[in-house]
Amino acid sequence: MTRTVIVEVEQDGVSGYGEASCFMTDHYNSGLERMHADLRRVAPLLATLNPGDPGGPGGPGGVWRRLAAALPASPFVLAALDTATTDLRARLLGLPLWASLGLDRPQGLRSSFSIGLDTPETMVRKLRERPGWCAYKVKLADPGDLRILRELREETDAPFLIDGNCGWELSRLVPALPDLRNLGVRLIEQPFPRAAWEEARTLKELSPIPVVADESITSPADLDACAEAFHGINVKPMKAGGITPALTLLRAARERGLITMLGCMPESAAGVSATAHLGGLADHLDVDVVDLLAVDTGQGLALDATGHVTLPDRPGSGYLPDPAAHGWYVHRVPAARVHPVRQEVLGPAHPAEGRAHPGDGLPATRHLAALRQGRAVGCASLYAEDPPDGCAVPGSRPGRGRRLRGMATLGEVRGTGAGTALLRTALTLSALDGADTVWCRVDDSAAGFYRKHGFEVLGRPLDLPGTGVHHFMHRSIR
């Protein structure tokens, strides 16, 4: 299972969406803790952006440049924010994303289908389960091992795109090139590691099959080197840092006569729907990840049984989040969705927590639910409330406090990380709302959990009649 963060940016009652996956977390700094920390860190910058102003610094390109300067080592978070703001701008204009970017309407989009490295029997079975696609992208451990391609060729006449995932050797690939071509291989993707530029240039001169870069192309800064060493590039917006640099790469590659492929990382419809709007600039489209998802996060682009792509007939990317979809884990919800969890978990021991609170319906209040298959199994609420008199938090400014209250998880998810996910999201949401401190009153048994997540105790314990010892705890979120 791959975790992902869905980013929502809102202006004038309109929302845009982007996505950042927890994939190759060390390489892309894309672990959940790091991505949430990055979002909290850039929260003050986000509050100054205006994607709806096409002539100002928040217009096309301006938002991305400011975000890129603040997130030089976090391409996925940058991509999520850029995609969300680009999507928001299109929705504010009432245009589909492709039109807002000055592109022609994508026509006749079809995706290849990916067959991961496995036993030959399993790979053949996967192809049989997806007949009729325009091309099949096949992962191979060794280009000289042609058995799997021969067996797959018995099942289809469609072209093969083969992917070395940086793992091949030039000495094994070159002798196999004639056989690969005869077996219908029409494209080779990233055969060597990123650092193997000399081998890539040699292969470009020798290969009768075009070779495209994947890991070797991470941003527009790599384009010159890739143009020398490859016949084309595979552009993945999440890896490139968003829709803005992906569009720059695709346009520049076409101007140079390079082959263009448009792909994606492990992501849901939130990210892939935006990517597909660039499909008119791609010679090869690889967005079958939505066909492979066990669960999704909402409604977006659609793939039919043979890989034909249909873009939603809605402004922006067309993605619509669905909090009831099984892909969601933590999501903002109305107060009514947290009350049953509060009542079940907190009611018997904490009567004051186990019912609706006076501030539940205020505009600044935020309610979060931990979801299991769309059902609320945990909850937390944030209130725009400064620490009480006598509990002044060092560095906290008036009007910048958020009280965390009603944290609860059902027994079925305790120990699964649901509480951590709720707390992490609550901290990030508070930062994005302009807060600098989150505080709470915590009973003695839960204090260790909050300490583990950076909360500090202030003052002496308070023994509350009927509920036991409580601590005043707080955490700075900047």
CATH value at residue 283? 3.20.20.120
Report if residue 451 sits inside a domain. yes
Q: Is 262 helix (H, G, I), strand (E, B) or coil?
A: strand
The whole-model pTM stands at: 0.91
Strands 232-235 and 136-139: unpaired
Pair (42, 91) in one structural domain: yes
Structural domain that includes position 374 = 330-476
Pair (122, 240) in one structural domain: yes
Pair (128, 196) in one structural domain: yes
At 57 the pLDDT is 47
**Is the sign of the CA dihedral 206, 209, 210, 213 positive or negative?**
negative
Pair (81, 123) in one structural domain: no
Distance between CA atoms of 107 and 101, rounded to whole angstroms?
A: 16
Backbone angles phi, psi at 36, to 5 degrees: -65, -40
Distance between CA atoms of 300 and 267, rounded to whole angstroms?
A: 12
Pair (306, 380) in one structural domain: no
Residue ranges of the chain with pLDDT lower than 70?
A: 52-60, 347-355, 464-467
Report if residue 125 sits inside a domain. yes
The angle at the Cα of 60, spanning 433 to 6, to the nearest 5 degrees, equals 40
Pair (128, 167) in one structural domain: yes
Report if residue 106 sits inside a domain. no
Q: Which CATH number belongs to the domain containing residue 17 in this structure?
A: 3.30.390.10
Distance between CA atoms of 422 and 443, rounded to whole angstroms?
A: 18
Pair (155, 269) in one structural domain: yes
Pair (208, 239) in one structural domain: yes
Pair (250, 347) in one structural domain: no
At 293 the pLDDT is 87
Q: Of 38, 71, 100, which residue sits at a domain end?
A: 100
Q: Of 318, 344, 366, which residue sits at a domain end?
A: 318
Report if residue 108 sits inside a domain. no
At 55 the pLDDT is 46
Distance between CA atoms of 443 and 455, rounded to whole angstroms?
A: 13
Pair (92, 12) in one structural domain: yes
Q: Of 100, 125, 153, which residue sits at a domain end?
A: 100
Number of C-beta neighbours around residue 357 at 10 A? 18
Instruction: List Cα–Cα distances, 40 to 27, 33, 72, 172, 246, in angstroms.
Output: 21, 11, 15, 48, 25
- 343 neighbors 408 (Cβ within 8 angstroms): no
What's the distance, CA 267 to chain centroid?
Answer: 6
DSSP 295-354: S-SEE--EE-TT-BEE--SSSBT--EE-TTSTT-SEEE--HHHHHHHHHHHHTTT-TTTS
Pair (28, 82) in one structural domain: yes
Q: Which CATH number belongs to the domain containing residue 378 in this structure?
A: 3.40.630.30
Structural domain tally of the chain? Answer: 3
At 357 the pLDDT is 83
Distance between CA atoms of 254 and 280, rounded to whole angstroms?
A: 11
Report if residue 325 sits inside a domain. no
Pair (87, 181) in one structural domain: no
Report if residue 363 sits inside a domain. yes
Report if residue 323 sits inside a domain. no
